[in-house]
Amino acid sequence: MTYPPTPPNPVSVHTLIHINIPTSSNLLHAMQQKSFSQLTQIPTTGYSLISAINKNLHLAPYETMTNPPRRSRTNTINKFTFTRPGDVVYEFPKYTSASCKVRITLPPGSTWTSGPHWHEKRVEYFRVVQGAAWFTLNGEYKVYRPSDGNVPIPLFTVHEWGRAPEQEEGDLIVDEWTAPADSFKIAFFRNLNSVILDETSDGKTPPRSEWWLTLQLWVICHGLDNWPVFCRGLFGVQWLVTHVFLGLVALVGSAVWGLRAAYDEYTAQGIKDVIRAAKEGKRVKRRGVD
């Protein structure tokens, strides 16, 4: 059985938030081709990038994108369970715990996947606690169960996972953590889920501004070491396209709309210290809210 299709489809914002949003994306279509002539047509300036998003993604008028509505953020620092009904549940350790594991639960019928991506700063580990999960590691498909123990994901390894079709009943429960063991992965999942829930109310409703949520999720990916696959082909091409595109999005998103990878309303001080130390090449042990 080949599941999911190989090679995996490049990740999209719909994969990240897993809600039904109609989008026409000629820009991403161009990025998903192997032709360098098409890749070189991706805009390289802030103004051109905004115009391309406006023209090719059909998300919002240019005037709206340059003058977005102000966002009020819900303080989620003391929220330890994030639920998107029917898709996925994230559970975070208490700040008093030394654990850095994030527990992810996929209920029966869930078609949620992580989307193909890689990491460059921390080795990732998975462990199936209950049920069966499919994984692709550099295109190789395998089903993991609790008896398989810890599954390491080396740096720069494209991977994706989801609920295995072999499991028809019961929840799939997976623990995820990194080495070195700190709160960096927690920072990513907390900001990702907080932004989604603030924009969609319940993780299922279409967002208030699709274009804003799309850019915001890409900024989070860029700042917190989650590199999605935007095109097929050699990894070197994937790496270049992802880094150039997300780098431009992060630059323009910060300069024009003030977008950040982590927000005070979503991120405890101890976790912010971990993010800051990672940027400086240092390590901070996990600790609670100051």
Is the pLDDT assigned to residue 281 strictly greater than 90?
Answer: no
pLDDT computed for residue 208 by the predictor: 65
How high is the pLDDT of residue 63?
47
Residue 167, pLDDT score: 86
Percent of the chain with pLDDT over 70: 70
Reading phi first (left if > 0) and then psi (alpha if -120 to 50, else beta), residue 284 is in beta
Mean pLDDT within 133-140: 95
Architecture of domain 81-181: Sandwich (2.60)
Q: Do the Cβ atoms of 195 and 213 come closer than 8 Å? A: yes
On average, the pLDDT of the chain sits at 79
Question: Does 16 score more than 70 pLDDT?
Answer: no
Q: What is the mean pLDDT of residues 47-71?
A: 49
Q: Is the pLDDT of residue 12 over 60?
A: no
pLDDT at position 105 over 70:
yes
Q: How far apart are CA 238 and CA 232, in angstroms?
A: 7
Strands 172-179 and 123-130 turn out to be: antiparallel
pLDDT at 40 over 60: no
pLDDT of residue 283: 61
Per residue in 190-243, pLDDT (tens digit) is 999 999 998 887 656 666 678 888 899 999 999 999 999 999 889 999 999 999
In the chain, where the domains are located:
13-75+186-279, 81-181
Q: What is the pLDDT of residue 144?
A: 97
Residue 277: pLDDT band (50, 70, 90) is confident
**Which pLDDT band, with edges at 50, 70 and 90, does 49 fall under?**
very low
What pLDDT, on the 0 to 100 scale, is given for residue 288?
45
CA distance 31 to 28: 5
Check: CB of residue 159 under 8 Å from CB of residue 137. Answer: yes
| Local structure of 86: helix, strand or coil | coil
How much is the pLDDT for 194? Answer: 95
Give pLDDT, residue 98.
84
Residues 75-98 have a mean pLDDT of 93
Amino acid sitting at position 280: E
pLDDT at 195: 94
For residue 65, pLDDT over 80 is answered with: no
The pTM of the full predicted model, rounded to 2 decimals, is 0.78
Q: 142-193 pLDDT, tens per residue?
A: 999 999 999 999 999 999 999 999 888 999 999 999 998 888 999 999 999 9
Cβ atoms of residues 276 and 200 within 8 Å: no
What pLDDT was estimated at residue 9? 54
Q: Please give the pLDDT value at position 284.
A: 56
Contacts of 110 by beta carbon, 8 Å cutoff, 6+ apart: 86, 87, 88, 162, 163, 172
Q: What secondary structure letter does DSSP report for 270? A: H
